[in-house]
Amino acid sequence: MRIVSGIQPTGNIHIGNYLGAIKQWISLQEKNECVFMIVDLHALTAPYDQKTLQEKITEKLIAYVAAGVDPEKAIIFVQSEVKEHTELAWLLNTICPVGELERMTQYKDKSKKFKDNVNAGLLNYPVLMAADILLYKAEGVPVGKDQAQHVEMTRTLAKKFNSKFGKTFPEPKELMPEFGSKIMSLTDPKKKMSKSDDPKSYISLFDLPEDIEKKIMASETDSGKAVIFNVTKKPGISNLLTIYSILEGKPISAIEKQFKGKGYGDFKKSLAKTVINYLEPFRRKQKELLSREVYVQEILKKGKARAKTMAETTMQEVREKMGLSS
Ligand code: AMP
Ligand code: TRP
């Protein structure tokens, strides 16, 4: 299967990004042709700092590799370096109804959050994402739950293009983990864990052990004492149980049993230990990669060349089908 996914370069990669997306990438790269990108063009739709953008991009590449993405197996590159993404996005814009874009949940949320900057890029964001996916004729898109609607939109655009101009694109499916497709904020478990929120609300992949412990111990939990999974009544504990269960590879019921008669404090201490141990090799690898700048840039250069060849082939076909000169 051809697989495509991406993460925005702004903010710090957190355990929600890892459990929702990157963890899937790592298992998918073994048997599939994977294309993973750093979607810098998407990041421009929200306020960002142009002076540090390049640093943030390199930081994300290092995060991918430190977390286990293998540059020998997967193609890793920066979205804006392959110009065909914007070209295909424009072409797809011409077959995309504005009404559908205005109905997108993320657009509605972000236009509320960034009231003073509701730019056209924010509205067209899903079209660029569709271009990212269709350019490589992907069949599977590993993402967290918040992106499922955008993949659905990509399918709609693929279908529409195919029926108008002839069969060109497969209709890609979102690939979501059974658990962990929506990890919640540590400070407000009714909200999704998000890169653009206060660092106290998320665990970054490279947080220091003492910070991980502090954040987990201070995380918002519910009244009551029992460590029981119940999303409506105990959203905080349920979120922590989900994280614990995935990282330990144990069913939630076994963890509930393990902490029967014990309080939140014991559970949180144990969870902190689990998270620290799980992330320790990531931090070690990150440190090593930070000292290998040439190798890191080489990964992006090689990834760009491979992605570009694939993108050019698709664009040639698309241009011909749409009646443009090729
Ligand atoms: P972003 O942080 O928006 O660049 O998202 C990158 C990837 O991580 C996407 O596949 C998202 O769906 C996924 N993701 C983001 N936040 C979470 C979360 N809290 N839980 C699970 N997956 C997430
Ligand atoms: N919109 C996605 C997010 O914010 C990132 C993204 C851009 C993406 N292009 C993609 C994900 C293509 C999967 C495939 O999380």
Q: What pLDDT digit, counting tens, does each position of 134-154 carry?
A: 999 999 999 999 999 999 999
With 90 as the cut, is the pLDDT of residue 223 above it?
A: no
Mean pLDDT of 86-106: 97
Nearest-atom number in ligand 1 for the CA of 144 is 12
Considering the chain, what percentage of its residues have pLDDT values greater than 90?
96
Separation between Cα atoms, residue 194 and residue 114, nearest integer Å: 15
11 alpha carbon, closest ligand: 1
Inter-axis angle of helices 105-113 and 148-165, to 10 degrees?
A: 120
From 145, 191, 144, select the one nearest 24 (Cα to Cα). 144
The whole-number pLDDT of residue 15 equals 98
With 90 as the cut, is the pLDDT of residue 196 above it?
A: no
The enclosing H or E element of 174 equals: strand 173-175
- pLDDT confidence band for 114 (50 / 70 / 90): confident
**Looking at domain 206-287, which of 3.30.70.580, 1.10.240.10, 3.40.630.10, 2.120.10.30 is its CATH number?**
1.10.240.10
With 80 as the cut, is the pLDDT of residue 38 above it?
A: yes
Q: What is the CATH number of domain 2-181+292-322?
A: 3.40.50.620
276 is in an annotated binding site: no
The reply to whether 2-181+292-322 and 206-287 are identical in fold is no
Of 195, 215, 234, 268, which one is the catalytic site residue? 195
With 90 as the cut, is the pLDDT of residue 102 above it?
A: yes
The whole-number pLDDT of residue 224 equals 87
User: Does the CB atom of residue 194 touch ligand 2 within 6 A?
Assistant: no
Residue 323 CA to ligand 2 center (angstroms) comes to 29
192 is catalytic: yes
Domain boundaries along the sequence of the chain = 2-181+292-322, 206-287
| pLDDT tens-place string over residues 258-282 | 999 999 999 999 999 999 999 999 9
Q: How many CB atoms lie within 10 A of CB 254?
A: 10
